[in-house]
Amino acid sequence: MAKKSTIIIGLGNPILSDDGAGLQAARKLKEALKDRNDVEVVEAYAGGLRLLDLLVGHQRAIIIDAMETACEPGTIRRFSPSDLQQTRNVSSSHDASLTNALETGRALGMDMPPEVIVFGIEAAAVDNFSEALTEKVAKAVPDMIKTVMGLIDQA
């Protein structure tokens, strides 16, 4: 089966409150894009090297994750893989960074996407056991969806 040209990966943990922001965005995007033959939307619960099998064969990858910086909760930021230090699951001390994972995939001859875009949504609470997002993060998810839909429509 041929791969779709764009993959959207929502990352996170669904039971750690705002850490599930990427997953919630992916669920909504999957519904909004269900009739598109050129876009695949998936949820993932770990980053780093575990993303390689999802990324292989696509022309573009859009990854959505929670981040923890000094920004206001609900702030959306766009990163390239080389910018990443601050997202929750794309960058981890327990796994390779996204940049290193992509380099490893290429070194192994895997067909990695030439274009990788990462969006981070600033989290307010990532250590609370809850399936609900905090108010500011929940309000940011529709903006995140609009941003990603805009990128998809440009393709």
Mean pLDDT by 10 residues, the chain (155 residues): 83 91 97 95 89 94 92 94 58 64 90 94 90 96 97 85
Give dist(CA 59, CA 155) in Å, integer.
11
Strands ordered across the beta sheet of 6-11: 39-44, 6-11, 60-67, 115-122, 76-79
Specify the pLDDT at position 152: 93
| Residue that is written with structure tokens 């327990």 in the block | 94
Question: Rounded to two decimals, what is the model's pTM?
Answer: 0.88
Specify the pLDDT at position 95: 60
Handedness of CA 8, 13, 19, 24 (dihedral sign): positive
With contact defined as beta carbons under 8 Å apart, do 25 and 10 qualify? yes
Specify the pLDDT at position 48: 81
Handedness of CA 148, 150, 153, 155 (dihedral sign): negative
Specify the pLDDT at position 140: 98
88 alpha carbon, distance to own chain's centre: 10
